[in-house]
Amino acid sequence: MIEWHKLLGVSFVDYLTNTNFSVEIEKELEMPQFLDYLVLRTDDNSMQLINPPDGMETLARYNLITYKSKHQAINGWSINELIGYYVIYRKIASASLEENNKLLSSEMFKLIAVATRFPANFLSDERYVVLKKGVYRIFRGDQDVDIIVISQLPKSENNAFWHMLSPDEKSLDYGLKNYKWNRDDLHYFFINEYLKNVNMEELNMSYTIRDFKRECIMDTLEYVAMNFKPDEVRDILQRKRVIAQELLKVLPIKDWIREFPTEEILERIPLEERIKGIPLEERIKGIPLEERIKGIPLEERIKGINSEDRLRLLKILQNQNNQTV
């Protein structure tokens, strides 16, 4: 069998001899490639997901997904990358076929691009159809590419999954409150990862850090009650207490106390401890005179006042009594 590819390679080498171009035949591309997400059907059952997020109603055996956050945009290059990953992975998945050079059917693959915001510039130059609100389809060779635009999806229970990635505060709030997590460990990881860069208390959302912490505590207590004996719980608490004490030795107080509201901290400190070291003048600032001397007997109030001032004070009191009579 004539190896046409090699013949063309040799021809290229000859033609470009004594020029400022070089040729490498069957060049291995060693740059590592990373597809954002590969969703595989794990059995031969063709049943689809129940009440899936918009855009995921008809998943295939192999689903290749690229994602662009609010800081990125879907464009021609990102779609070309996704097509490139599809070509490479289709070859890899087809390697187990007995017939050489035979590929799995293109119908076994689905390409999805998830965009946080609407790619207006990109779609203005594309031929596309609208599958439903927030879901579009473009055409590339033997593969369509579905584009899911998170910012355009309706706020419905099935889309809570997408809205957790929304740039809009209300949509984000809706997603966090309505998505039903299947695994607590992944729920905690998601929130913790989010909190590393975003202070949720600064956002105008009803789902706050306090809500998350309360959920964590309740879920943990429920898990402990169902899976541990009392002796085991005591042992865990003792170990946690030791760890906390060791952490406090090395962590500056400002690093861990900032998690607690000022009001909660002050409630735990006795009044005498709060005012210790504060000069008297500072303590009584802003307190009206009548409040300062309330409850102090008259004899104590006039101590240290000379006789002349006492007579003046006596006249003032007599005048006040005459006015009230």
Collapsed DSSP state (helix, strand, coil) of residue 249: helix
- Going along the chain, which residue ranges are E strands? 37-40, 62-68, 109-115, 128-132, 135-140, 143-149
State the pLDDT at residue 210: 61
Distant-in-sequence contacts of 202-209, Cβ < 8 A, 24+ apart:
203/169, 203/172, 203/173, 204/169, 205/169, 205/170, 205/172, 205/173, 205/176, 206/173, 206/177, 207/173, 207/176, 207/177
pLDDT higher at 123 or 233: 123
CB atoms within 10 A of CB 253: 8
For residue 249, what are the CA distances in angstroms to 243, 256, 261, 273, 300? 10, 12, 22, 22, 48
Look at residue 79 in the predicted model and tell me its pLDDT. Answer: 94
Percent of the chain with pLDDT over 70: 66
d(CA 5, CA 52): 46
Number of H-type helices and E-type strands within the chain = 15, 6
CA–CA dist 115, 165 (Å, integer) = 10
Contact 79, 126 (CB under 8 A): no
In terms of Cα–Cα distance, which of 141, 218, 205 is closest to 178?
Answer: 205
**What confidence score (pLDDT) does residue 200 get?**
47
Mind listing the pLDDT tens digit for each residue in 155-198? 999 999 999 888 888 898 898 889 888 887 778 778 777 766 65
Residue pLDDT, tens place only, 247-278 = 556 555 565 566 566 676 667 677 777 777 77
The per-residue pLDDT for 96 is 77
The larger pLDDT score, comparing residue 209 to residue 290, is at: 290
DSSP 18: T
Q: Which two tokens stand for residue 34?
A: 């990373």
Q: What is the mean pLDDT of the chain?
A: 78
CA–CA gap between residue 79 and residue 126 (Å, rounded) = 12
Is the model's pLDDT at 80 over the cut of 90? yes
Which is it for strands 143-149 and 135-140: parallel, antiparallel or unpaired?
antiparallel
Query: Can you say whether residue 172 is alpha, beta or left, with left for phi > 0 and alpha for psi between -120 and 50 degrees?
Result: alpha
Tell me the two tokens of residue 81.
Answer: 């990358």
Which residues make beta-bridge pairs with 145? 111, 138
Both tokens of 96, joined, read: 């187990």
Q: Which of 263, 243, 173, 182 is nearest to 212 (CA)?
A: 173
